[in-house]
Amino acid sequence: MNLFLLHGFLGRPADWSSVKGYLSLNENLRIFVPDYFKEALLNPQHSFESWAENFTRWVDLQGCSKDKNILVGYSLGGRLALHALKNRPQLWTKSLFVSTNPGFNDQLATFDPESPERKQRWINDSYWAEEFLKAPWESVLRNWNSQAVFSGGSEEPARLEKDYSRENLSLALTQWSLAQQQNMRPVLQNQAEKALWLVGERDEKFLDLSRRLVQDIPKLNVSVIPGASHRVLFDCPKLLSEKILSLLA
């Protein structure tokens, strides 16, 4: 069995270290944590659709295509995971989405300036793309982390400028903007019985989104993590590992 873990924006493979530490050692379990900001095949120079095709190919290259595979994505990694699930649903035995946005609940295939919601999101993400490209590193990190969605949770690990391509970070904010993302609810609808959706109880925005999501998709298993904010990965790694183990069982 194989477990694939996708980190979030500004994330790195080491973000999953605590979660992995709680997973029982099992010689039959292989864990893959791609650094998708650095892998040429997976970096944000690719659109959502191209990324999903490339990721599926990357999984095949690991020799996993005929195995049982579990896909876990956190935040931006969850949105990318939804596209991977759409690209080849039969590749994935189970999937888990943590603090993930399924997209705007509309019928648009990509950004459309006629949509007020998408236009506002595009303006917002374009602003941050410019900041991550040009602003002083410590300043942009401080401002990014002061956003309301991250309030009340654990701090992320140290994020050092030398560990990133600022061009790729900037590109991710526009190429993988929510404004560019299709509504992924139909994907979840088709895979609801094999998917688990996690949200922190103190993440008000995503908690509300999840409540509305389960109204649209009653069969979707939505679980609220006590005491967690948006950054479930850092707030409650033990509880998150237990959810992953339930999928592996």
Per-residue pLDDT of the chain (249 residues; tens, 9 = 90+): 999 999 999 999 999 999 998 887 666 889 999 999 999 999 999 999 999 999 999 999 988 878 899 999 999 999 999 999 999 999 999 999 999 999 999 998 888 888 999 999 999 999 999 999 999 999 999 999 999 999 888 888 999 999 999 999 999 999 999 999 999 999 999 999 999 999 999 999 999 999 999 999 999 999 999 999 999 999 999 999 999 999 988
- Is residue 127 one of the residues assigned to a domain? no
- Is residue 34 one of the residues assigned to a domain? yes
pLDDT at 25: 66
User: d(Cα 75, Cα 95) in Å, to the nearest integer?
Assistant: 14
Range of the domain at 85: 2-107+182-248
- Is residue 158 one of the residues assigned to a domain? no
- Is residue 164 one of the residues assigned to a domain? no
pLDDT at 153: 82
pLDDT at 93: 95
Count of domains observed in the chain: 1
30-32 β-sheet, strand order: 30-32, 2-6, 69-74, 94-98, 195-200, 221-225
- Is residue 244 one of the residues assigned to a domain? yes
- The answer to whether the predicted template modeling score (pTM) of the entire model surpasses 0.75 is yes
The beta strands (E) that lie in the chain are given as 2-6, 30-32, 69-74, 94-98, 195-200, 221-225
- Is residue 55 one of the residues assigned to a domain? yes
pLDDT at 52: 97
pLDDT at 26: 66
pLDDT at 249: 80
- Is residue 163 one of the residues assigned to a domain? no
CATH number for the domain harbouring residue 189: 3.40.50.1820
- Is residue 188 one of the residues assigned to a domain? yes
